[in-house]
C-alpha cells in the first residue's frame, strides 16, 4: 500500500471515529437534558381516579379477582359524578405540596378512560354520570401551575372484547389462535395512545400491566417509537417490557441504590391506590416524609399517591398530608430539589444528600439527638454549618485527629433543641471544595 493511500485511509478513519464519538456525546447530553427535570423534581403526585372510588373497592382488581361481577363493577359508572371536581384546586394543592409533576390514571386495567376517546364507549363522557372529559381540564391546570404532566396508561384493558384476559380465571382467547383479534387490540390501544400524545403532549407516560404479554406481543418497540414521534422528549417508565427509561419500585423503599440512573418509588398513603372509605390505615406525614428522604438519600424520586372520591373531592387525610409535605419541602427545598444521592453508609447515622456542585452536604436528622451529630471520614475543611430553613449557624468540633495519620478526625456538630423541626431537621455542611471522603480501612500507629 503506498503511503499516500494509507494516509487517506487513516484520515478517513479518524474522521469517522471522531464524528461517531461526537454523535455519542451529543446523544448523551440530549438525553441528560431530557431527563433533567425528572432527576431534579424528586417529588411527584400519583392520582388513581376512576369508577372504583364509587364503591370504594380495589381498582380493577376487584372484578378481575372475582370479588364483584364485571357487570356490577361497571355499574359504578352511574355514580361517578365528578360533581365537586375542581381541577384547579387539585393542581394548586399538588403545587403546594412541593411536587413538581403529577401522574394521573388516564385509564386503569378496567378500561374506563377519563378522556373523550373515540376508541370505545367506556369513558367518562359516554358512559358515566360525569358526562364530560375530566382529564383535559386537569392537564390544563397542571400546565397553568407549571407542573409536568404524566399520564398513567394501563396496557391491559380487561373490559375490552378483543383483549385476551378478562378475569383471573377467564381468558377470552389465545393470541396464537386469533392473531387478527390481537392485532385489533394493539391498534385500539395504540390508537388511544395516539390520542393522548397528540392532545396532551405529556412529559411522561407511566405504563402498567406489561407483565401480561411479551414485548413482541405488545409491539413495545413500535409503541415507544409512536410516543417519541409525538413527543421526542417524553419520558417512559420501566413497565414497557424493557423499552422504558427508568425504574419503578412499588411500595417498598429500596435498601441499596437501584442500578438505573433514574428511579422513582411509587407509594400509597394508606393501603389503597384508589379511594376506599374503609381504609383508614394511613401512614403519618412524618412516616411519609422519612420515606421520601430515604428516596432522596439513594438519588431517587417519590411518587406519592392520592385517591380522590367519585365526586372529585380529595379525602381530608390526604389533603392534610400534602399540606404538611408542603410546609416541610418549602422549608428544606435546597436540600431536596436537584440534589444528588448522599453519602455511602458508615459516614453518618442517617440519610444525607449532596448539592449539585458536591460542595454542600445535607444531614437529615430523623430523631431527637441526645448528643452532637457525628460525621466520620470527611477529609474536607468545613466552611460553615447551618440549619436549613432558619440559617442558624452551628458550632462544630473535630476530635481524634492525629497529625501523623491521614485518617480524618470525627466531626461533632452541636444541634440545639430549639432548632429541631417538627418532622425532620436538616443541617447544611458547607465544605471547602467538592466532598472528599476517606474510604480506607484505617491506619496503624507507626510513631507516637
Ligand atoms: C400495580 C397495580 C395497580 C396500580 C399500580 C401502581 O401495578 O396493578 O393497580 O395502579 O400498581 O403502581
Distances (CA, A) of 385 to 232, 291, 304, 396: 43, 25, 31, 8
The whole-number pLDDT of residue 338 equals: 97
Give me ligand 1 centre to Cα 302, in Å: 15
Q: Predicted confidence band at 286 (pLDDT cuts at 50, 70, 90)? A: very high
Give every strand in the sheet of 410-413, ordered side by side.
373-375, 410-413, 396-399
The whole-number pLDDT of residue 24 equals: 36
Cell of 320: 392534610
**Contact call for residues 275 and 317 (beta carbons, < 8 A):** no
Average pLDDT over residues 75-95: 98
The answer to whether residue 20 scores a pLDDT higher than 70 is: no
The answer to whether residue 12 scores a pLDDT higher than 70 is: no
Q: Is the CB of 134 under 6 A from ligand 1?
A: no
Q: Is the CB of 85 under 6 A from ligand 1?
A: no
**Contact call for residues 274 and 239 (beta carbons, < 8 A):** no
List the beta strands (DSSP E) in 11-95: 43-47
User: How many of the other CB atoms lie within 10 Å of CB of 249?
Assistant: 16
Q: With CA atoms as reference, report the closest residue to 251 among 228, 234, 267.
A: 267
* Beta bridge pairs of residue 189: none
If you classify domain 341-431 with CATH, what class do you get?
A: mainly beta
Q: Is the whole model's pTM more than 0.85, yes or no? A: yes
Q: Is the CB of 245 under 6 A from ligand 1?
A: no
- The per-residue pLDDT of the chain, averaged, comes to 93
The whole-number pLDDT of residue 26 equals: 36
Q: Is the CB of 250 under 6 A from ligand 1?
A: yes
The CA distance from 247 to 262, in Å, is 7
Distances (CA, A) of 51 to 57, 231, 301, 352, 377: 9, 29, 28, 41, 54
Ligand 1, pocket-test mutation among 273, 275, 305, most atoms within 8 A of CB? 273
Query: What proportion of the chain, given as a percentage, has pLDDT over 70?
Result: 92
pLDDT tens per residue, range 94-151: 999 999 999 999 999 999 999 999 999 999 999 999 999 999 999 999 999 999 999 9
The answer to whether residue 251 scores a pLDDT higher than 50 is: yes
The answer to whether residue 260 scores a pLDDT higher than 90 is: no
**Contact call for residues 79 and 71 (beta carbons, < 8 A):** no
| Count of residues in the chain | 448
CA 441 to chain centre: 37
The CA distance from 59 to 109, in Å, is 8
Q: Is the CB of 273 under 6 A from ligand 1?
A: yes
**Shortest-distance Cα residue to atom 9 of ligand 1:** 59
- The CATH code of domain 42-331 reads 3.20.20.80
Atom of ligand 1 nearest to the CA of 48: 10
Q: Is the CB of 59 under 6 A from ligand 1?
A: yes
pLDDT tens per residue, range 206-228: 999 999 999 999 999 999 999 99
Q: What are the counts of helices (DSSP H) followed by strands (DSSP E) for the chain? A: 12, 17
Q: What are phi and psi of 390, to 5 degrees?
A: -120, -25
Q: Is the CB of 158 under 6 A from ligand 1?
A: no
pLDDT tens per residue, range 381-430: 999 999 999 999 999 999 999 888 889 999 999 999 999 999 999 999 99
pLDDT tens per residue, range 31-55: 778 999 999 999 999 999 999 999 9
The whole-number pLDDT of residue 17 equals: 41
Query: What crossing angle do the helices spanning 179-200 and 136-144 adopt, rounded to 10°?
Result: 40
Amino acid at each position: 500500500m503506498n503511503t499516500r493511500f494509507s494516509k487517506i485511509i487513516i484520515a478517513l478513519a479518524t474522521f469517522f471515529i471522531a464524528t461517531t464519538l461526537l454523535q455519542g456525546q451529543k446523544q448523551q447530553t440530549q438525553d441528560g437534558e431530557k431527563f433533567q427535570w425528572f432527576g431534579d423534581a424528586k417529588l411527584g403526585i400519583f392520582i388513581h381516579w376512576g369508577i372504583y372510588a364509587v364503591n370504594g373497592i380495589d381498582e380493577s382488581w376487584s372484578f378481575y379477582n372475582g370479588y364483584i361481577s364485571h357487570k356490577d363493577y361497571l355499574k359504578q359508572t352511574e355514580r361517578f359524578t365528578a360533581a365537586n371536581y375542581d381541577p384547579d384546586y387539585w393542581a394548586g394543592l399538588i403545587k403546594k405540596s412541593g411536587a413538581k409533576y403529577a401522574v394521573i390514571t388516564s385509564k386503569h386495567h378496567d378500561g374506563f378512560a377519563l378522556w373523550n376517546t373515540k376508541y370505545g364507549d367506556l369513558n367518562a363522557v359516554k358512559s358515566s354520570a360525569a358526562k364530560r372529559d375530566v382529564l383535559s381540564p386537569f392537564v390544563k391546570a397542571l400546565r397553568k401551575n407549571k407542573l409536568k404532566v404524566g399520564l398513567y396508561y394501563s396496557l391491559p384493558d380487561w373490559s375490552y372484547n378483543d383483549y385476551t384476559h378478562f378475569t383471573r380465571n377467564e381468558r377470552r382467547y389465545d393470541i396464537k389462535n386469533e392473531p387478527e383479534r390481537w392485532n385489533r387490540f394493539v391498534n385500539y390501544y395504540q390508537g388511544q395512545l395516539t390520542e393522548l400524545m397528540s392532545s396532551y403532549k405529556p412529559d411522561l407516560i407511566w405504563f402498567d400491566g406489561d407483565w401480561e404479554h411479551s414485548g413482541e406481543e405488545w409491539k413495545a418497540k413500535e409503541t415507544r417509537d409512536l410516543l417519541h414521534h409525538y413527543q421526542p422528549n417524553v419520558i417512559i417508565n420501566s413497565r414497557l417490557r424493557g423499552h422504558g427509561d427508568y425504574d419503578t419500585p412499588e411500595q417498598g423503599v429500596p435498601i441499596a441504590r437501584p442500578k438505573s440512573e433514574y428511579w422513582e418509588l411509587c407509594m400509597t398513603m394508606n393501603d389503597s391506590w384508589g379511594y376506599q372509605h374503609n381504609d383508614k390505615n394511613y401512614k403519618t406525614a412524618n412516616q411519609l416524609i422519612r420515606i421520601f428522604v430515604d428516596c432522596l438519600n439513594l438519588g431517587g424520586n417519590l411518587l406519592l399517591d392520592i385517591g380522590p372520591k367519585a365526586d372529585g373531592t380529595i379525602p381530608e387525610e390526604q389533603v392534610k398530608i400534602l399540606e404538611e409535605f408542603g410546609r416541610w419541602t418549602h422549608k428544606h427545598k435546597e436540600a431536596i430539589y436537584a440534589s444528588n444521592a448522599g453519602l455511602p453508609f458508615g459516614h453518618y447515622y442517617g440519610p444525607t444528600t449532596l448539592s449539585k456542585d458536591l460542595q454542600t452536604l445535607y444531614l437529615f436528622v430523623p430523631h431527637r439527638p441526645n448528643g452532637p451529630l457525628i460525621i466520620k471520614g470527611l477529609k474536607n475543611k468545613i466552611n460553615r454549618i447551618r440549619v436549613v430553613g432558619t440559617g442558624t449557624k452551628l458550632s462544630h468540633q473535630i476530635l481524634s485527629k492525629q497529625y501523623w495519620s491521614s485518617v480524618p478526625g470525627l466531626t461533632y456538630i452541636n444541634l440545639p433543641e430549639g432548632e429541631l423541626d417538627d418532622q425532620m431537621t436538616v443541617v447544611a455542611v458547607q465544605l471547602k471544595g467538592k466532598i472528599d471522603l476517606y474510604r480506607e480501612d484505617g491506619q496503624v500507629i507507626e510513631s507516637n
